[in-house]
């Protein structure tokens, strides 16, 4: 009887430790999943921000190039006072 009681205590303690270890592993997995998700989200946000900055810079460069071409190739408008008088 004492052996069965001792075996029962040992198995109960083992199951308790196993349950605790299982719970710790589960919590560790949840924490790891949360950290991985946060890291992936942060990388996605940074990538989107960098992409938006590059697109904005490209658009600004295009507008500056258009303005430069417009100024370079535009014909100056004549003012009424500078027009050559008719003969």
In a domain, 11, yes or no: no
* Residue 53 maps to a domain: yes
Q: How far apart are CA 10 and CA 3, in angstroms?
A: 10
Angstrom distance (rounded) from CA 74 to CA 66: 11
Q: Which domain holds residue 43?
A: 35-67
Under the banding of pLDDT at 50, 70 and 90, the label for residue 82 is: low
Is 58 contained in some domain?
Answer: yes
Per the domain annotation, does 5 fall within a domain?
A: no
Per residue in 20-75, pLDDT (tens digit) is: 878 778 888 888 999 999 999 999 999 999 999 999 999 999 999 999 998 888 87
Whether residue 73 is contained in a domain is answered as no
Residue 81: per-residue pLDDT: 59
Domain for residue 41, yes or no?
yes
Report d(CA 87, CA 84) in Å as an integer.
Answer: 9
Instruction: Show the tokens assigned to 23.
Output: 């719970």
Question: How many independent structural domains does the chain possess?
Answer: 1
Is 0.85 surpassed by the pTM of this model?
no
77 pLDDT band, cuts 50/70/90, is low
């Amino acid at each position: 009887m004492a052996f069965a009681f001792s075996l029962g205590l040992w198995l109960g303690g083992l199951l308790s430790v196993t349950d605790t270890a299982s719970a710790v592993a589960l919590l560790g997995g949840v924490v790891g999943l949360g950290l991985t998700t946060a890291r992936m989200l942060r990388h996605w946000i940074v990538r989107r921000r960098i992409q938006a900055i590059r697109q904005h810079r490209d658009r600004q460069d295009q507008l500056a190039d258009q303005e430069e071409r417009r100024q370079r190739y535009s014909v100056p408008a004549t003012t009424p006072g500078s027009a050559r008088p008719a003969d």
